[in-house]
Amino acid sequence: MRYNYQNILRLLAPVICQALFITSYAQQKQKGFYKDLFMDSGMMLTSRVDLAASRLADFTMESFISTPHSYTEKFSFTDADTIMQNQLICGSAIDENGILLYPDGAPRFRVVYMNGGRAKAHGGTLGEQGRKNYRMFVANGGGYVGSCAGAFIASLGTKLPDKEEAPTDLYLGIWPGFTTGTGLEKSWTDIDIEPGSPLLNYYHYGHRMSIDSVRHNGGCYGNMTYRCPQGTEVLARYSTPGGEPKRNIVGEPVIWAYKACEQSGRIVLCGSHPEYAEEGPRLELTAAMLKYAMDGVGKPTIKGELKIGEKRRMTCYTHDNNPAFTRIGDKQYHHFTIQVPDGTDTLKIALSSVSGSDKFDLYLLADSHTLAFKDEAEYSDLHLGVDKQLVIVHPQTGTMYASVFCNTTVTARQTRYGTQYSGRIDVLNGVPYEIYVTAIPKQPIQ
């Protein structure tokens, strides 16, 4: 009997890959974010109210949902849509930085998911500030997943095979390449997952490398032959056209990813619509895209060094444009280093409130080896309130890591427009504090 070993390997690839990746996703989730996922179902996008993949992956999620609409109706949106979207994405008096960002510009969610719809039109409704906030979100470490319009808008613009490139400022440009429209509407496509694709790390897809009947409506592919950014990963390709396309798309990238550097977030883009599925391989594919983006969030940054005997005031607002000294947001960490002098007997780290801002809960943490997180740090003070002190006897000489964590957060509730906040909304513009370090030297032996 003769065997087709190539087909056998393709069938076994998901099993092999899952056996190789023994570190689970849950162990890799980074800390210091308010929640896992924000879903943009905003103006000129599909007004999706639910994302089944977020439940499969057990993600915490919030959303903005515009009024259900038809793209042919010019006045299908209400004033409330515009007001809500501007307040959430661009910012407002009670949340200057907008829902996506912490006061210092760090990402507040691990990942944003952007629905399909009309890419350029949605970019226009975001305005210059909204597009800037999206770019800052990814540049500072947040992940991004977009399907169809969410993939188009992430690029620099479009490039059709027989036409010049069409860049647009209304797109985000977080993937600095060009997309090409498939010309295929109201149809379905089959998708072949690339051998060795990181999408295979998360699910087995029925132990197949091909996923059939994925909804497609005017989507795109990543143009890998025209000014493709270095570091772009092809994760899956179109394998059947699923209809009568205007151009051949078989073999073109349907899912691709990009991460500019360690500090930036990972972008995962898809030209079709697996997010419609509520069961089976298509549902798993959507969850895998979200997980891969989440695994690629930027590394935590260190605000700076706490100098012995010098008080550091973390009191700036967003508009001060001084992130190293800006207030802390809800469920956020601020990380610092301390250079412990040789011969130190006792190190004291003191956290204190600023006048009028003592009704918050901030935690103080320290560790001799790595960034300090509240369930792992060697030293911690988790009492309620702001004022704290750690007394570390006989600390190791060299670098000590200190962190401040804000445990105060808003109350979130679901409405027809998505998530709305109440309660401690004063935390959204950040909590000011001061931090001070003293080092007591060892006494000489008499």
pLDDT computed for residue 347 by the predictor: 97
* Angle at the Cα of 96 from the Cα atoms of 92 and 99, rounded to 5 degrees: 85
For 136, the 3-state DSSP assignment is helix
Q: Do 266 and 257 touch, CB atoms closer than 8 A?
A: yes
Distance CA 38, CA 255 (A): 20
Across the 446 residues of the chain, what is the mean pLDDT of every consecutive 10-residue run?
Answer: 36 36 42 96 93 96 86 68 94 96 98 96 96 98 98 96 90 97 91 97 94 94 93 95 70 97 97 96 98 96 97 97 98 98 96 94 97 96 97 96 98 89 96 98 78
Helix (H, G, I), strand (E, B) or coil at 427: helix
Query: Do β-strands 302-305 and 333-340 pair in parallel, antiparallel, or remain unpaired?
Result: parallel
309: left (phi over 0), alpha (psi -120 to 50) or beta: left
pLDDT at 443: 82
In this prediction, residue 13 carries a pLDDT of 39
Specify the pLDDT at position 445: 66
Model pLDDT, residue 314: 98
**Sign of CA pseudo-dihedral 254, 259, 260, 265:** positive
**Dihedral sign, Cα of residue 74, residue 77, residue 82, residue 83:** positive
Residue 446 is predicted with a pLDDT of 61
The reported pLDDT for the residue numbered 27 is 35
Confidence at residue 397, expressed as pLDDT on a 0 to 100 scale: 96
pLDDT of residue 148: 97
